[in-house]
Amino acid sequence: MVMMSHNDETLKIVYHIFLNFEFNKIEEKIMQHFRILFFLIILSGKILYGQVISGTVKEDITNEFLENVKVTMFNQTTGTIDSVFTNNIGRWVYNLPTSVYDDNQPGTFSLLQNYPNPFNPSTNIQFTINNNSFVEIIIHNILGEVVDRKEQFLTAGTYNIEWQSKGAAGVYLYTIRSGENSLTKKMIQLDGGSSTGGLGVIKKISENRFINKSEAGSHNLKIIYSKNSHLADSVEVEVSGGENLQMFLKSYHSFFTMIDLHNDVLDVMMNDTSYHLKDRHNYNHTDLPRLKEGSVDILFFSVWVDDDYSNYFERANMMIDRFEYELSVNADDIGKAVTYNEATSLNEEGKIAGVIGVEGGHTIENDLNKLDSLYKRGMRYLTITWNNSTDWATSAQDPQSGTKGLTEFGREVIRRLDSLGVIIDVSHTGIKTIQDILEETGNPIIASHSGVRAIKDHYRNLYDWQIEDIAESGGVIGVVFYPPFIGSSNSDIDDVIDHIDYIKNLVGIDYVAIGSDFDGIGNNTINGLENVSEFPRLTEALFDRGYTKEEVEKFSEEILRGCLKKCAGIKWKNLRDLHFVCDI
């Protein structure tokens, strides 16, 4: 079967191939017949197609091509089922059984039943228009009141638009109008939606190829797209060959609550006053456009004052000033959270929740009043030491890490943190100091950005018994993305997952979190995790490594349950006593 395209350049290339091909075993007379046939096809104005359909699959948020997506064809005309997979650029090709001719006959105007239906929290509406026209999409409630509408000029083809739950639960009607054509169907919304819900972006998933279906023998296909790390989706199309379909899949990552326990972008902005969160950058690791691509929901902004300064407390307040300024000028995208309810409310509004963590006890300058002041400004965890020891606590880098811990004033600091409801963070903190902290506090503690010492023997990482002690307290370990703590300068995502696996196998998935340390590690990043936009790659790699959806849903859930509820002043014995689902 000969397959040719309408494209003149393609015809030239095909002809050139056959013109110059050396058929040692084929008579020149046969080749002459082929050339005559080739030109007759061109002169006839009818292009012979192989009945081939193709398409691409992309990630819904990042627009990146998706590899190894299973594309299952359920042929509703013949009753057969077959499947193909996308290649490394997200493309797939499938052969139908017959040939078709181009005859400029448009497809029909149609509206499919939304999928899934009933739904929560979103559903897809698919429609086909046979002419270039303005298309109006209207959503009504059962009383006939318009809930949402969208109008846009579209070229002939098949389209998909997502509806995110909006308004009360119940029956809704959706109408598509194109010229004089109008179709309406009903859908069932199981739960009420937020004010930010409604109609999404109209996405073209197929060109109208204008096929003469009387000659072609068309096929009604239900095409199901599935990948272990993404939510499966499907589309129903009538094809006759030549169609090019596009599908956008949503990562499970985007459905979970993504929390990063440690980010140092405030230090970047203090040192470069021209660097702002709202602008997308091709350097450093963090800004709002990339946070959105990474589906980050809650970000702990580290207030870290280098010990080269002498005015630690003043410098910390200047950093919080910058934090509050950046949030004020980006209020539509991010907000400050000091309680559990504030964080979840911001997320429900489609905004990122920014939480302050202060890195290094030297910031309080041996003054509990300054600790209180930082709490009032929003500090919701305090890393007891940075690499430098204080007068009252010893760091992990200190040669006396194993023998010298908290002073009496240090114990008083721990008691004050407990009374305020500030999370105690022991990353960077010395071995004996952590032991003393656990003796003093009855609350969960965290290691916001650390690794496993059994894998990489570095003073910043945790021994097994320390991991067990933190888990026993009800706290979590945020796995860091800094290669020297993970493995080597060539560390990749699999090396990060090795640390996650180790903690999971030692104490359970409940005690694993993420503390990337982005913008605190210079250009020394994990291969494949170079900035905040690439968190979905970690989620996908976890699925590829054999993690189940239930495990990934549970991954780091204790952070939102525990740490932010603790910020609200709610006391409990163990974070596991609370119930809330979130993700890395």
pLDDT in tens, 509-531: 989 999 999 999 999 999 999 99
Can you tell me the mean pLDDT for 297-323? Answer: 96
pLDDT above 90 (res 570):
no
The per-residue pLDDT for 548 is 87
Alpha carbons 220 and 238: distance in angstroms, whole number? 4
pLDDT for 113: 87
How does DSSP classify residue 119?
Answer: B
Which of 40-49, 94-103, 109-118, 243-252 comes out lowest in average pLDDT?
A: 40-49
- What is the domain partition of the chain in residue ranges? 1-45, 49-102+215-226+241-250, 108-207, 254-577
| Rounded average pLDDT over 107-113 | 81
Higher pLDDT, 16 or 152: 152
What the block records as the tokens of 462 is 């945790």
Q: Which residue has the higher pLDDT, 565 or 4?
A: 565
Structure-block tokens of residue 231: 């939510």
Residue 107, pLDDT score: 54
Both tokens of residue 483?
């290669």
User: Pairing mode, if any, of strands 296-304 and 352-359?
Assistant: parallel
Omega of the bond prior to 116 within 30 degrees of 0, cis? yes
13 pLDDT exceeds 50?
no
From residue 53, give the alpha-carbon distance in Å to each of 21, 92, 219, 225, 279: 28, 9, 11, 15, 40
**Does position 207 have pLDDT exceeding 70, yes or no?**
no
pLDDT at 49: 42
**pLDDT at res. 28:** 52
CA dihedral defined by 208, 212, 213, 219, rounded to 10 degrees?
-50
Instruction: Work out the burial of residue 17: count CB atoms within 10 Å of its CB; fewer than 13 is exposed, 13-18 middle, 19 or more buried.
Output: exposed
The tokens describing 81, both together, are 């089922």
User: Residue length, the chain?
Assistant: 584
Whether the predicted pLDDT of 5 surpasses 60: no
pLDDT at 112: 87
For residues 252 and 230, is the Cβ–Cβ distance under 8 A? yes
Whether pLDDT at 573 is above 70 = no
Please tell me the CATH superfamily of domain 254-577, with its number: Metal-dependent hydrolases (3.20.20.140)
- The percent of residues in the chain predicted with pLDDT above 70, rounded, is 83
Q: May I ask the CATH class of domain 49-102+215-226+241-250?
A: mainly beta
The larger pLDDT score, comparing residue 262 to residue 207, is at 262
Q: How many CB atoms lie within 10 A of CB 431?
A: 22
Checking if the pLDDT of 265 tops 80, the result is yes
**Collapsed DSSP state (helix, strand, coil) of residue 123:** strand
Nearest residue to 412 via CA among 431, 393, 399, 385: 393
Helices (H), 66-218: 213-216
User: 74-83, 161-170, 256-265: which has the highest mean pLDDT?
Assistant: 256-265
pLDDT at 249: 94
Q: Tell me which H or E stretch contains 111.
A: strand 110-111
108-207 in CATH: which number?
A: 2.60.40.1930
Q: Which of 88, 90, 85 is nearest to 65 (CA)?
A: 90
CA-to-CA separations, 450 to 228, 392, 473, in angstroms, rounded:
29, 22, 17
The rounded distance, in Å, linking the Cα atoms of 525 and 537 is: 14
pLDDT at 566: 52
Tell me whether the CATH fold assigned to 49-102+215-226+241-250 matches the one assigned to 108-207.
yes
- The pLDDT score that the predictor gives to residue 106 is 43
Evaluate whether 102 touches 241 at the Cβ level (below 8 Å): no
166 φ, ψ (degrees, to nearest 5): -150, 140
Give the pLDDT score at 227.
93
Q: Summarize pLDDT for 370-423 with one digit per residue, the tens.
A: 999 999 999 999 999 999 999 999 999 999 999 999 999 999 999 999 999 999
Contacts 24+ apart (CB under 8 A), 306-310: 307/360, 307/362, 307/386, 307/387, 307/388
Segment 348-371, tens digit of pLDDT: 999 999 999 999 999 999 999 999
95: closest CA among 56, 49, 128, 58?
49
Q: Give mean pLDDT, residues 443-459.
A: 96
Mean pLDDT of the 551-572 span = 55
- What Cα–Cα distance (Å) separates residue 437 from each residue in 302, 440, 467, 510? 21, 5, 14, 22
Tokens encoding 396: 């992990």
